[in-house]
Structure 1
Amino acid sequence: MDPTVPEAIPVIRPRTSGADVLAETPAYDLIELFFFAYRDFVSDPDRILDEYNFGRAHHRVLHFVDRQPGLTIAELLDILRITKQSLNRVLKELIEKGFIESRTGTADRRQRHLHATPQGRHLALKLARLQTRRIMHALAEMDPEAKNLVSGYLLALIDQDDRAHVQRLVFGEKET
């Protein structure tokens, strides 16, 4: 065996639960599949966003503002877990280019409620449809129960203390 060539990392598959997997052994296969899947998942929207001189941060902001009309800046910061400074730059561009509008709160005039404009809604839907197409093609190649398994797997990847919050955002479920 050549000493300059590292030994192959054995792939450890979970037996019954994630607890059975040794944390010391990286799951390179799954990590790399995640990288490649994410690369291709965002590549379709990236091409369209580039036409507007927008990036992935613009996409994320537009997505959540479109999905939750009236979202406050504080709520958006909580969802995205980015700094206010990072959000301000992206949000300013989206507002200036007419994709999002900021409205003063009725109960608290200090709050700014964000809404996608018709132009913003159109772009958000266009991007979501591209990603939906990729997801549905992948699911079509799998067992009919795959969507539930994939949803459960992705939810399990989220920090446990944030799962109920994410479930409420994604599925409209109440937090427990």
Structure 2
Amino acid sequence: MDEGEDGAVNTRDRDAEGRARSARPRDGLGRPLPYGTPGVERQPEGVVRTSAQTVREAQRLLDAGMPFHAHEVFEDAWKSGPGAAAPLWRGLAQLAVGLTHAARGNAVGGARLLRRGAAGIEGLDGRPYGVDVPGLVRWARELAGRVTDGGPAVDAAREAPRLAGGLE
């Protein structure tokens, strides 16, 4: 929070260009925590990675139970990579956000995003960048069905998919 020139307290965090950016700490699922609370290190935005680096970093975050942060890695690839790869990265970002919502207890939103992400990558040929598209589609639809049916709470780390090999 900053004090403006008129003495009023600005309760919105802004970057150097004046764009709103939340500086609040976040937990592993991306939920904002109160100021001053220790949180999980945020993913830097706008990082350009190779496809292999993207898959490796996202897998590390998924395995750590941090799908919200993995989503940000996929989003960077989606926005900075070649247009032909955008459907893959966008779909993977949606899967990561779907897992995030399911782990936060939002079954409806989680299932919706898992299905949307699966539909977005389903038609992709082969194993782009080594990503097991058919395995991820199966994983997403199975998890969406479980959360929709009121299954047990989702543990993001335990439910993390294997990007290069489907389910473990």
Higher strand proportion, which one? 1
State TM-score, norm by structure 1.
0.28
Larger radius of gyration: 1
More helix, by proportion: 1
Name the TM-score, length of structure 2 as normaliser. Answer: 0.29
